[in-house]
Structure formats: C-alpha cells, structure tokens
Amino acid sequence: MQLRTALIQTDICWGDRQANLAAAERRLRTLEETDLALLPEMFATGFMTGDVSAAEPMTGETVGWMRRMACETGMAVAGSVIVRDGERVCNRFVLAEADGSLAWYDKRHLFSFGGEDRLYAPGRERRVIGCRGVRLLPQICYDLRFPIWSRNRNDYDAILYVASWPAGRMAAWDILLPARAVENQAYVLGVNRVGTDPTARYDGHTAAFDFLGRPLGRVPDGREGVVRVTIDTEALAAFRDRFRAWADADDFELLR
C-alpha cells in the first residue's frame, strides 16, 4: 500500500481565516496525484494561545472548508484547527476525507511556556487514524518532545506532526523528527509554517523521514513550498519483519 502525501509549508495571516483558507485552497488545487495534503498547526488563524475567540465547532467554516476541499479534489486534507467542543476548546488535528468523513485528535501536550494550557483543554486519548489503508498517528507540535506518547506498539505506519515551531528552537525540531522515525520504525512527516506572528518568527524546516531516519525530502527554509513524499507500507513491513526492534520494546502504562 502506498500513500502519496504533500507537505505544505505556508505563511499564515494572523487571525485572517478567509485569507488563509483562500491561500490554502489555491495551493491544494495545484496538487496532482495526491492522497493526503497536510497543512500546519492552526493553519486558518495562526497559533493563538491567548485568545480563543476564533474557536469554531466541528460544523464551522474551517472544517466545512476542509470537507469541501477533500470532496472537490479527491484527496484527504489535514491540519489543526481551534475547535470548541461543548465547554472545551481544543487544538484539534482534523483529517477530512473525500467522502465527507472526519477523523481527529486533540493535542495532548499543551505549550505551557506560551500559555496554551490556560485556555485550551488537553487531549484525553492517543488516536491512530486510517487513511486509504495506511495507519497514521496524528500529533501536534509540542507533542514531538514527549516520546512515550508516540511510542509505536506496531499499530501505526507513520507519524504526522503539524506545527507552529518557532525559528529559535529549530535545532530541537531537526533532531527529534528523525529520532522519532528511528525509535518507532515508522515514517515521520513534519509540517511547519513560515512567516511571523505577534510573538515569534517561523523558518519552516518541513521535512519527512523514512523508518531508518533517512531524509525523504524537505521544503527550503524560510519559504513557502511543498514536498511530496510517498509512504510505502510494504517496504516498512519488510523492514520491521527483518529487524524486530519494535517487538523488544519495554511494556508501560500511561497513568493519566
């Protein structure tokens, strides 16, 4: 099984949902032979931690736009959105399929250094999402620093990280993405933004790695662009069968 992905590194206009969705739509409509298009964290608004006025229900404009784009282009569309779910506001990874179906994951590790934990509710469960026969573990930005949460139990093929990771801490991003690929024997796709917002500058470093930690592609730093990567589950399964490090991993239980 192969999943053809497009990792979209883009600038984001602060708080301007219409401008951001229009720019993303223009980019999506240029893609061909793509199964999954991946957008950055809070791609419709920018990374808003001190204000949740942009929060939308799952029936709101951004998720509706994702479903429409998936339906019209035939590809799955994913990224994170500020979602109001009852009394909770979540930083939610949403994947919209061409048939209108949705799957999602709420960010577990909220960025307390930037105040995200004050207004957002943390996710309660780790989720694996199926997309066209490939098992995907969605993660959001700060989750990258917490390896137990992404530990592979032989239950996924690739980790997807969508991020607003600032330029001042890019060294950690560049180290941890391939580390997660090696330790989990899985593909790793990391999508970051470029540009600026009121608190940070972003330099991109959108990149993908195979199950050996080898680079598969990268968008040039500091510029908008797309990198195309194919996830090959047959190659992955053959490697895992030959080198069964995953079977020797320590058992553990998450207490909260």
Based on the residue annotation, tell me whether 41 is a catalytic residue of this protein. Answer: yes
Rounded to 10°, the helix 61-73/17-28 angle is: 10
Of the residues 56, 90, 97, 141, only one is catalytic, namely 141
Assess whether 141 carries a catalytic annotation.
Answer: yes
Instruction: Please pick, among 56, 90, 97, 107, the residue that the annotation labels catalytic.
Output: 107
DSSP state of 152: -
> To the nearest 5 percent, what fractions of the chain are helix, strand and coil?
30, 30, 40
For tokens 């809070």, the residue is 42
116 catalytic per annotation: no
Instruction: Give the residues across from 81 on adjacent strands.
Output: 92
Write down the catalytic residue from 41, 56, 97, 116.
41
Closest CA to 162 of 24, 34, 43, 65: 43
Residues designated catalytic:
41, 107, 141
